[in-house]
Amino acid sequence: MFRLVTRVAVSVALLSSAVPAFAWGPVAHDAVARVAAQRLTPAAQKEVSSLLGGQSMSEVAVWADEVRNTTHTQTTAWHFTNIPLTSAGFSRSRDCQQGNCIVAAIERQLATLQDRNRPRVQRQEALKFLIHFIGDLHQPLHASDSRDRGGNDRMVAPVGGTTNLHAAWDSGIVQSQGRTSSSLAANALAWLQTQRESDLTTGTFADWANESLRLARDIVYAQLKGDNAIVGGERQEAVRIIEKRLARAGVRLAHVLNRAFAPPVPPAQ
């Protein structure tokens, strides 16, 4: 099990802030994009290529992180939802006030993407946001909170260059195991071969958030112990969990885009 320790927050202001340090790291976001790209329909592939101007989904997968502290500061809260760890699940009134959470952000960006009357630049940005946010939604600590800013205030012994629980699950664990985006994607794709993908694409965005909440409660936080080490075997198990989350994110991203770009059904005669 993970053996970690809670750090006392350094200030009241820090505790009141609900902003995660980062989302999935670039390696994980790249893996999600790779999985999704392999599952796009020809119609969706054409639309994605047109909107991205020839860039791949992998190339824009972390764009939303790059702009949230510069040109799009209003989007910071769109990367997560702080569902209380002890709650039954996502509550829009409690966890998404004024629409500032990842669930509502995905809904808005999808509506923009589907509206062909919107300016091209808005639809392009909506696509980039969706590629990123659907990945973020599958990071357990982006949909849960134990009064520690989604794990940002839970300090751990350095793992893959990270020192808090949130960052460890974002990137530190996979880095400590020497995983690359290609290896993560390959293992995610291999796991998908054992699954019925139609079972993975059911549910709403809120349902997917609740899935992450349960993982955070039942695995990430439940395994916290009295010291701050994450030993090798536990890191390997965490990587397997992460690979499955990336697989689900990739399949679901492709499913969302395939439906968004599906040719209109002609009216019945």
* pLDDT of amino acid 236: 84
Average pLDDT of the segment spanning 82-104: 97
* pLDDT (average), residues 188-204: 97
Residue 265: its pLDDT value, please?
Answer: 67
Q: 244: how many CB neighbours lie within 10 A of its CB? A: 18
Query: pLDDT of 204-249, one tens digit each?
Result: 999 999 999 999 999 998 776 656 666 667 788 899 999 999 999 9
Q: For 97-137, how does the pLDDT look when each residue is reduced to its tens digit (9 = 90+)? A: 999 999 999 999 999 999 999 999 999 999 999 999 999 99
**Mean pLDDT, the chain, as a whole number?**
89
Q: What is the pLDDT of residue 60?
A: 98
Q: Looking at residue 235, what is its pLDDT?
A: 82
Please give the domain boundaries of the chain with CATH numbers for all domains.
Answer: 12-260 (1.10.575.10)
User: Which pTM was predicted?
Assistant: 0.90
% of the chain beyond a pLDDT of 70 = 86
pLDDT higher than 60, residue 22: no
pLDDT digits (tens, 9 = 90+) for 128-183: 999 999 999 999 999 999 999 999 999 988 889 999 999 999 999 999 999 999 99
pLDDT level of residue 16 (50, 70, 90 thresholds): very low
